Chains A and B, each alone.
Chain A
């Protein structure tokens, strides 16, 4: 079946503009995660959605970052007033139940470049 998809694959924007990144998880997966991978660094957690529970936003680096998820489907990560330090690859992952030990399936990522 289809894996996790993300769009756009690449986004170049000017400092100060807003951007929206989209994630389509695997159908039926209740848990959805956003991570960020800055150049030469590991992945850092941003936000986690599980079913209808309140999302875990503890990894969002500032209030310029927000995310929404429609039911158990599409998620959108929004970055307002982008800064150059926001340049990174943004990765979305989904898992069946969000349990510890369960596999997270990653999308190909969106490479964001802020000029």
Chain B
């Protein structure tokens, strides 16, 4: 079945550090891939997405590339800010296993000033 595995947190970084949060998935076919973010006290919101292999999603300085060969969708940002502190969820969406998002467990990011 489908599953999403993302690196365990919490991840603690200093401001302006480089961020990588790993995400790998298992699925047959070509699911759509997403990163959602949950800021403290707020609801879940879409950060970026990619719907086909080799696509790169980007938003707010974050990027992730859909790598079919490694079944990965790692999230990166070149220089994090304190305001990036949040929980980040990797997710996939595939009709093959039902029309729903399948989420990873989430990774807590803490950025120190």
Contact = CB atoms under 8 A, between A and B. Distances in A.
B89 A43 contact: yes
Contacts of B42: 108
A56 B100 contact: yes
B93 A101 contact: yes
Interface residues of B, number: 25
Contacts of A41: 105-106
**Residue among B32, B98, B99, B103 with the highest chain A CB neighbour number at 10 A:** B99
Contacts of A48: 98-100
Interface stretch (B12-20, B44-52, B68-76, B78-86): B44-52
Contacts of B106: 41-42
Contacts of B100: 33, 45, 48, 56, 59
A45 B102 contact: yes
Given A42-B89, A100-B51, 11 more contacts: A35-B103, A41-B106, A42-B4, A42-B106, A43-B89, A45-B101, A56-B98, A56-B100, A93-B101, A98-B99, A101-B49
Interface of B: 4, 31-32, 36, 42-46, 49, 51, 89, 91, 93-95, 98-106
17 contacts: A42-B104, A42-B106, A43-B44, A43-B89, A48-B98, A48-B99, A56-B98, A59-B100, A93-B101, A98-B99, A100-B32, A100-B95, A100-B99, A101-B51, A103-B46, A106-B43, A107-B43
